Structure 1
Amino acid sequence: MHPETEASFAELSTTVRVFRRPIAATRRGARLARLLSIQRLAEWGVPRGSDASDAAALIVAELAANAVVHGRVPGRAFELGLLLRPGVLRIEVTDTRADKRPALASTPPPDAESGRGLLLVAALADRWGVEEGASPRKTVWGEVGVG
């Protein structure tokens, strides 16, 4: 057997946990996304109150709030995705406004009431980004180390 083949078989045997759920694009839905994330991570062995759980909860809260405020299309939900593989949790929030791509802006003025969400995501996530999906969708994601 070739070394490349052995590596690919080893990668296939890696445990990956996946959670996906559509959630109403409302403020209440954004809160639900955060609570569901904390619960699912606890079920997967990432304890509540751990650094990884707390970082994930804040990232989900910010990305879900952005989906509700900036990515909302009336009557359409956003989707929360959690993918846990050894050492890494990937958080994905998909909405139906691909035309509104988020970008990390400079720090807003001290008296601004918004504009800090992606700064928080960038500070908490090991990596983050935006992917365009099938039109008209986009996914904003962040990755956090676990374990």
Structure 2
Amino acid sequence: MDTETTQAPAAVRTFSIRLSSTPRGARLARRAAVGQLHAWGVPFEPAQHIVAELASNAVRHGHVPGRDFRLTLRLTAGGVLRVEVTDTCTERLPRPPGPVAPDAESGRGLLLVEALATRWGTEVGPAPGKTVWAEVGDG
């Protein structure tokens, strides 16, 4: 899938939480997403894996000392779930995943997101950051 910038679908339910830009914050993002999806009565597979990867990337590649990242879930009336992770580092925009060496210790995360999501992309902003998003469901 190609990455793209699009308007977020109109949400009927929204959940948003700010978390510390630490490994603990990334773990809490996945747990918070699973809990919220459960509360909405929505299956949490594959969204929990997408949240885990995007939150981990925000901590690893988007960390700015003293600044947090934000997880936002948007569920549309048509059943599309949009996962958004916003961090404060615009210098490192994710690129479409490419080949990864078999012995590489990293570099497979966006391949996983691409495989699990219906579509995904990035947006610069809100200032001073970027948002990486992925949608699950055909709506």
Same fold (TM over 0.5): yes
For 1:126 and 1:16, the matched residues in 2 are separated by 19
Which of these residues, 96, 105, 108, is aligned with residue 116 of structure 1? 108
- 1:107 to 1:15, Cα distance in 2 relative to 1, 3 A: closer
Which runs of 5 or more residues in structure 1 are unaligned?
1-13, 48-52
Identity %: 58
Could you tell me which residue of structure 1 aligns to residue 3 of structure 2?
Answer: none
TM-score of the pair, normalised by structure 2: 0.88
Could you tell me which residue of structure 2 aligns to residue 100 of structure 1?
Answer: 92
Which runs of 5 or more residues in structure 2 are unaligned?
1-9
Q: Deviating runs (4+, > 4 A) in structure 1?
A: none
Which of these residues, 27, 40, 59, is aligned with residue 36 of structure 2? 40
The structure with the larger Rg is 1
Are residue 145 (structure 1) and residue 110 (structure 2) matched? no
Matches within 5 A, 1:49-64: 53-64=44-55
For 1:134 and 1:106, the matched residues in 2 are separated by 27
Q: Secondary structure at the match of 2:105?
A: coil
Higher helix share: 1
RMSD: 1.6
TM-score of the pair, normalised by structure 1: 0.83
For 1:134 and 1:56, the matched residues in 2 are separated by 23
For 2:50 and 2:62, the matched residues in 1 are separated by 16
The structure whose RCO (Cα within 8 Å, separation 6+) is larger is 2
Q: CA deviation at 1:63?
A: 0.2
Q: CA deviation at 1:15?
A: 6.8
Aligned residues: 129
Could you tell me which residue of structure 2 aligns to residue 76 of structure 1?
Answer: 67
